[in-house]
Amino acid sequence: MASKSVVNEAHEIRLAIDLVNLGARLQLLESETSLSRERLLKIYKELKGVSPPKGMLPFSTEWFITWQPNIHSSLFMNIHKYLHDHADVSGIEAVVKAYRLYLEQTPLQAGDEPVLSLTRAWTLVRFFDAKILKFTKCNKCGGQFVAHTLDLHDDYACGLCHVPSRAGKTKRARELDSIAMVA
């Protein structure tokens, strides 16, 4: 019987705490730590005060390709790639560090959620590792954006250079416009 390392267990608990505080789902915690499900549930409940959400993780690549999510996904993946290539960071550590940097670059209003959740960011990295998604260069600005591997990208224009006509027409934007008109 192999002896358990207290230091390794402490590292795993610290990682689980960091992941929960960043919004990780239970499936992500189970995949990236060696802690038992019961232990992870206790950590989650202690930090959040509620049970973790149930249900499946996001599994479709289509979400990452739509206009606003693509911009946020591309920002995150470029940060992740830079950390991987230049800071010698990999695995879940790279995901956590890249996600924290992503959050710094996308300030939120009080009560708002980030466009890209940690769980989606982790899933995105897995899609890149599986070569389902890749970077494609915009032919106008030269930026690297998330795209399907098998799509044709000869004349690719990103969502920033070719903004869709309905961009920014969210329910929240309409509410803010109506408040501004009244004031």
pLDDT in tens, 58-117: 778 999 999 999 999 999 999 999 999 999 999 999 999 999 999 999 988 777 889 999
Q: How many CB atoms lie within 10 A of CB 85?
A: 9
Whether 16 and 104 share a structural domain: no
Give alpha helix (H) positions in the chain. Answer: 6-21, 26-32, 37-48, 62-65, 67-86, 91-105, 118-129, 171-182
pLDDT at 1: 42
Does 55 reside within a domain? no
Indicate the pairing of strand 133-137 with strand 144-148: antiparallel
pLDDT band at 151 (very low <50, low <70, confident <90, very high): confident
Cα separation of 61 and 17, whole Å? Answer: 28
Q: 53, 87 in Cβ contact below 8 A?
A: no
Whether 35 and 66 share a structural domain: no
Q: What is the mean pLDDT of the chain?
A: 88
Query: Comparing 32-46, 119-133, 154-168, which segment has the lowest mean pLDDT?
Result: 154-168
Whether 41 and 69 share a structural domain: no
pLDDT band at 154 (very low <50, low <70, confident <90, very high): confident
Q: How large is the average pLDDT for residues 6-19?
A: 93
Domain count, the chain: 2
Whether 90 and 137 share a structural domain: yes
Q: How large is the average pLDDT for residues 118-126?
A: 95
Domain housing 40: 6-48
Does 180 reside within a domain? no
pLDDT band at 182 (very low <50, low <70, confident <90, very high): low
Q: To which residue do tokens 């769980």 refer?
A: 119
Q: To which residue do tokens 């192999």 refer?
A: 2
Whether 91 and 21 share a structural domain: no
pLDDT at 174 over 70: no
Query: Comparing 56-65, 126-135, 137-146, which segment has the lowest mean pLDDT?
Result: 56-65
For the full predicted model, state whether its pTM sits above 0.95.
no
Does 53 reside within a domain? no
pLDDT band at 172 (very low <50, low <70, confident <90, very high): low
Does 179 reside within a domain? no
| Total number of residues shown for the chain | 183
Whether 118 and 35 share a structural domain: no
Q: 31, 92 in Cβ contact below 8 A?
A: no
Does 37 reside within a domain? yes
Whether 15 and 80 share a structural domain: no
Does 56 reside within a domain? no
